[in-house]
Amino acid sequence: MVDIEQSVDIDYDYSLDRDTTTLSRHVLQQLQSFSPDAQDLSALMSRIALAGKMIARRLTRAGLVEDALGFTGRQNVQGEDVKRMDVFANQVFISVFKQSGLVCRLASEEMEEPYYIPENCPLGRYTLLYDPIDGSSNVDINLNVGSIFAIRRQEGEDLDRKATDLFQDGHKQIAAGYILYGPSTVLVYSIGNGVHAFTLDPSLGEFILAAENIQIPTHGPVYSVNEGNFWQWNDSIRDYLRYMHRHEGYASRYSGALVGDFHRILFQGGVFLYPGTTKKPDGKLRLLYETAPLAYLAEQAGGSASDGTTPMMDIVPKELHQRVPLFIGSRENVELVESFIKEQKRSEFEASHD
């Protein structure tokens, strides 16, 4: 048996090793295992990457492809106008898991009930929870949008199709991440061993490792919130915004797409907040496929996330499309917002007990 080291002079080529560190390889490297579970996770992430590539391809040509943009004329379970891209992306995630034997159920912002892939049920051991296009109002004006995903193990065969095993807290997520469709397409994910970012190389058609073990700065300058809702917030949030307006060192950034705003905070630090409003006391964002997956990433990256009082990862969903207020980002920035909320609760308590 000829030892390849002897026959070929192999200098370590960093760029070659980087370009071959695909997502599926990275998953197995992190787990240091080739067990069936590890192989499952690797395969799951590969299929999510394929979905990301297909959606990115459609988005880059959306202005040129007939009927790619605009509205379908229908509303989704959230009462939101459904864009053609929402429908396309929703279907892409279903299609990439067909004939996989991996995922039996998919739960999405765009579907009132989970979708069960016939050939994968009940043997499919995993559930994909996803927002296929987050920030879809940005699609028609060519601004960044994203896909958010989480993977949970399916517990039991769910023969009554009530998916009750999904109504558990965020610690039941075994993987979570997002795909950001921006100037480049970036996939950020964690399987519980840190947060890692991959950039799509269109010439290779592969997501290539770009950053490992990303850590959110403990404090950052950015606060990301729709200040147009100021009139609908309670006093604690208004007091927090006044604090931001009156202290040096803060900058307001808000894109209208959660994924892009979170991605900025992941790298630069700060806080994203979507508080409850008078019209939507529980806020606008959905727990199972938006805030819980991002909370998983935030905590893996040394940051934090809550609904203002309870850690997001501890919140138990009561129904599939449950909304929650969201405060997420750098630990110190989140704590500052929470301190305003705590102060208001304290003064309300004292007022009611005087």
Q: In the complex with ligand P6P, which residue's Cβ is closer, 22 or 136? A: 136
42-50, 183-191, 236-244, 251-259 -> range binding ligand P6P (CB under 6 A)? 251-259
Q: Kindly tell me which residue out of 135, 217, 270, 275 binds ligand P6P, with binding defined by CB under 6 A.
A: 135
33-41, 213-221, 252-260, 336-344 -> range binding ligand P6P (CB under 6 A)? 252-260
Q: Which residues of 14-52 are buried (b: 16+ CB within 10 A; e: fewer)?
A: eeeeeeebbbbebbeebbeeeeeebebbbbbbbbbbbbb
Q: Kindly tell me which residue out of 134, 299, 307, 338 binds ligand P6P, with binding defined by CB under 6 A.
A: 134
Name the minimum Å distance from CB 213 to ligand P6P: 26
Q: In the complex with ligand P6P, which residue's Cβ is closer, 47 or 83? A: 83
86-94, 132-140, 172-180, 208-216 -> range binding ligand P6P (CB under 6 A)? 132-140
Contact 194, 213 (CB under 8 A): yes
Map residues 270-289 to x or -, x wherever contact with ligand P6P holds by CB under 6 A: --------------xx----
Place of tokens 């909370």: 295
Q: Which residues of 106-123 are buried (b: 16+ CB within 10 A; e: fewer)?
A: bbbbbbeebbbbeebbee
Angle between helical axes of 36-60 and 84-96 (0-180°, round to 10): 150
Name the minimum Å distance from CB 131 to ligand P6P: 7
Q: Does 323 bind ligand P6P (CB under 6 A)?
A: no
Contact 275, 284 (CB under 8 A): no
93-101, 121-129, 208-216, 250-258 -> range binding ligand P6P (CB under 6 A)? 250-258
Name the minimum Å distance from CB 110 to ligand P6P: 12
Q: 159 Cβ partners below 8 Å, 6+ apart?
A: 122
Q: Does 258 bind ligand P6P (CB under 6 A)?
A: yes
4-12, 197-205, 254-262, 336-344 -> range binding ligand P6P (CB under 6 A)? 254-262
Q: In the complex with ligand P6P, which residue's Cβ is closer, 215 or 226? A: 226
Torsion over CA of 172, 307, 198 and 181, rounded to 10 degrees?
120
Q: In the complex with ligand P6P, which residue's Cβ is closer, 120 or 291? A: 291
Q: In the complex with ligand P6P, which residue's Cβ is closer, 180 or 209? A: 180
Cα–Cα dist 192/231, whole Å: 39
Q: Does 307 bind ligand P6P (CB under 6 A)?
A: no
Tokens for 61, please give them.
């040509």
Q: Does 232 bind ligand P6P (CB under 6 A)?
A: no
Instruction: Output helix, strand, coil percentages for the chain, rounded to the nearest 5.
Output: 40, 25, 35
Q: What radius of gyration, in Å, describes the C-alpha atoms of the chain?
A: 21
CA distances from 279 to 8, 17, 231 (A): 69, 52, 11
Burial of 268 (0-12, 13-18, 19+ CB in 10 A): middle
Which H or E element spans position 213? none
Q: Does 226 bind ligand P6P (CB under 6 A)?
A: yes
Q: In the complex with ligand P6P, which residue's Cβ is closer, 41 or 265? A: 265
User: What residue ranges bind ligand P6P (CB under 6 A)?
Assistant: 134-135, 137, 226, 256-258, 284-285
